[in-house]
Structure 1
């Protein structure tokens, strides 16, 4: 449950980053590719090639960049720091870009497969999102059946997420009192 809470924290950060990158790319695409109007009837959508060829890869790069940078530097994203989790290789080293990318691919594999199956069986975007969410939960359900608590993507990518021990930090008020003396 702690891992899912950290994922939720990180998801909020990633969502805000995706909103920002989408906003910038939408403005750029609108300025470069479309005639803008002043009335609601003038509204248009960006071309499909721009959405699929520019905006979607940028969303993937945002996701890979977010996790890759944090896992390479400290082994912890901001959500993982909050819940005292750390992702390392099975020999205890921080992940490099390759290991980060492999871990992300394996973490997305089951949700993507479930989304495809959900779309084929039930049709529609809601079925795809619901099925992808079930696939994500299945990744973490493996933790309950694994003696070491590894998720499916941990096993496939030869990484592990560990619970970091609590460190006694000096409170902010105690540190301010020391500075004042």
Structure 2
């Protein structure tokens, strides 16, 4: 009989912020790639000294917001982990233990912006919360879990 599984310790603020830093780098790469693609499709940087018109700038600005949103929505609703979360062995789950729905992932993404706005107060909140949850965890009815290390294979 296998031993009963114990819940992993709660996710520390430092681990949470480290994963967020990794994901910020991924999002920067996504936005940079979109900007390069946009520039190439618009005829390159030298086609017009004034750059794209207002519609082109609006399209690029919209893509710069939507692409990172899509990154988080897909990552969280398809496995509960972003690249940064995988690196730091963190997984997002619903409070009821089910996988995260696209709706909850969307709510979490938008509410995470609120957690960052007042000097990261929503993240600091996790230090005082009995379950270690930040504002966006509470708002989206989700929480982070530590993922146990995979057992090493014998060589």
Interval of TM-score (by shorter of Structure 1 and Structure 2): 0.7 to 0.9
Q: Which has the higher contact order (CA 8 A, sep 6+)?
A: 2
Gaps of 5+ in 2: 1-13
Question: By percentage of residues, which structure has more helix?
Answer: 1
Q: Which residue of 2 aligns with 1:144?
A: 127
TM-score after normalising by structure 1:
0.71
After superposition, the Cα gap between the structure-2 partners of 1:110 and 1:73, relative to the gap in structure 1 and judged at 3 Å, is: closer
Q: Which residue of 1 aligns with 2:6?
A: none
- 1:22 maps onto 2:35 in alignment: yes
Q: Which residue of 1 aligns with 2:8?
A: none
- 1:91 maps onto 2:103 in alignment: no
Secondary structure of the structure 2 residue equivalent to 1:86: strand
Separation in 2, partners of 1:48, 1:169? 55
Separation in 1, partners of 2:88, 2:115? 25
Runs of 4 or more above 6 Å deviation: none
Q: Which residue of 1 aligns with 2:5?
A: none
Deviation at 1:90, TM superposition (A): 0.6
Separation in 2, partners of 1:65, 1:169? 34
**Between Structure 1 and Structure 2, whose CA radius of gyration is higher?**
1
- 1:43 maps onto 2:49 in alignment: yes
Deviation at 1:16, TM superposition (A): 0.7
Q: CA RMSD in A?
A: 2.1
